[in-house]
Structure 1
Amino acid sequence: MKNVAVILAGGSGKRMGGSVPKQFLILGKKPIIQLSIEAFENHSEIDEICIIIHADFIPELEGIVKENGFRKVRHILTGGKERSDSSIAAIRAYQKEPNVNLIFHDAVRPFVSKDIISNVISHLEKGKSVAVAIPTVDTIFQIDENDRIVSVPQRNLLRRAQTPQAFSYKVIKKAYDIALKDPNFVATDDCGVVLKYLPTEAIFTVEGEETNIKITFEGDLVLGEEILKGK
């Protein structure tokens, strides 16, 4: 099975408040998306890379790929308005070669480690669907529409989701095929799609890392610089 890293970079970065999507902001003298590509480009078990990007930023991304000689980047595709459109674009790109694993990763998680990627691939080789997650150190409240606490789930059973999230092509394609027939379909991540539309498909977790952060707000850039110094 070929291992394909699908780097999801279609976001507009509005929460940063700027005109440049956050995946193109600079960390340690490099665009964030370049750091994410490097993590998969340099991993021996990743066969190729597919990047989903807003159409307006394809030239900028192509420049980064060419300048750095990223040989594994095979596809640069456009997504759509919704997060799920990016996954669907990748699924359709591989419909003629379904003997692949698709490893979906947020472009704005630039510090995904070699160990995390290796653990994900190890589970894929065993025929498992995989999510990366870390334990929560905080108690989590479930509230209702009036902000009243209705439940306090057991903390030891809760995890904070990270990426990658990875599936065989057969599994993720089947889940989305069913989802797209649902007029009320809404998705924020691929695990949610598989969990809802293929409820008998077990999704296993592998341990993430505190440094595998998602760059979302300005303060995350400061933290990102500290992580780079630590490396």
Structure 2
Amino acid sequence: MKNVAVLLAGGSGKRMGTSLPKQFLNIGDKPIIQHSIEAFENHPNIDEICIIINADYHKEINDLVTGNNYSKVRYVLSGGKERSDSSLAAIKAYEQEQNVYLIFHDAVRPFVSSRIISDVISALTAGKSVAVAIPTTDTIFCLNQNETIKSVPNRNLLRRAQTPQAFSYKTIKNAYDIAMSDSNFVATDDCGVVLKYLPKEAIHIVDGDESNIKITFEQDLLQGAQIVDKK
């Protein structure tokens, strides 16, 4: 089985309030997406990388890949309006091979560790579908529609989701095939699609890391810079 890292970078980054999508903003001396590419490029058990990017930014990604000789990057594909469109682009790209694991990762999580990637691959090779998550230290409120507290879940059973999320090709393809035939399908992350449409498919948790942050808002850039400084 081939291990394929799918870097999801199709977003416009509007919440960051910049003209460039956030994946092209620098942390340290590199664009955010370059940190992510290198995390998988440098991992010995990753065979290929597939990058899903906004159609307007293919040149920027191709220049980055070519200029740095990233040999594992096989595809640069266009995403769509929803995250599910990006996942579907990767699924379609590998429909002739299928003997692959697809490891979906937010390109704006630039500090995914080699340990996390290794643990995800180990779980995949053991026949598991995989999510990465960390314990929540905060109490979480579940609300009524009028925004009053309905319940307080046991936080020992709660996790904060990160990426990668990883599946065999057959599993993720089957889940999306069913989802696409559902007229009420609402776009969500890949674990949500598998959980809803393949409810018998157990999704196992791999421990994430507090440094595996998602760059969403301007203040996240400062936190990212602090992580780079500690390396």
Q: TM-score, normalised by structure 2?
A: 0.99
Q: Is 1:49 aligned to residue 59 of structure 2?
A: no
Residue 34 of structure 2 corresponds to 34
Residue 97 of structure 1 corresponds to 97
Measured in 1, the distance between the counterparts of 2:199 and 2:186 equals 16
Q: Which runs of 5 or more residues in structure 2 are unaligned? A: none
How many residues align structurally?
231
Q: Is 1:188 aligned to residue 179 of structure 2?
A: no
Measured in 2, the distance between the counterparts of 1:145 and 1:78 equals 37
Secondary structure at the counterpart of residue 192 of structure 1: helix
Q: Is 1:157 aligned to residue 163 of structure 2?
A: no
Residue 200 of structure 1 corresponds to 200
Deviation at 1:145, TM superposition (A): 2.1
Q: Is 1:147 aligned to residue 147 of structure 2?
A: yes
Deviation at 1:110, TM superposition (A): 0.2
Residue 19 of structure 2 corresponds to 19
1:68-112 CA-to-partner distances (Å, cap 9, x unmatched) read 100000000001111100000000000000000000000000000
Deviation at 1:144, TM superposition (A): 2.1
Percent identity (aligned) = 72
Deviation at 1:188, TM superposition (A): 2.2
Residue 215 of structure 2 corresponds to 215
Q: TM-score, normalised by structure 1?
A: 0.99
Q: Is 1:115 aligned to residue 112 of structure 2?
A: no
Secondary structure at the counterpart of residue 205 of structure 1: strand
The aligned runs of 1:71-82 (5 Å cut-off) are 71-82=71-82
Measured in 2, the distance between the counterparts of 1:41 and 1:105 equals 13
Residue 227 of structure 2 corresponds to 227
Deviation at 1:29, TM superposition (A): 1.1
The aligned runs of 1:60-71 (5 Å cut-off) are 60-71=60-71
Q: Which runs of 5 or more residues in structure 1 are unaligned? A: none
Secondary structure at the counterpart of residue 57 of structure 1: helix
Q: CA RMSD, aligned part only? A: 0.5
Letter in 2 for 1:144: N
1:200-220 CA-to-partner distances (Å, cap 9, x unmatched) read 000000100000000000000
Q: Is 1:135 aligned to residue 135 of structure 2?
A: yes
Which stretches of structure 1, 4 residues or more, deviate above 6 A after TM superposition? none
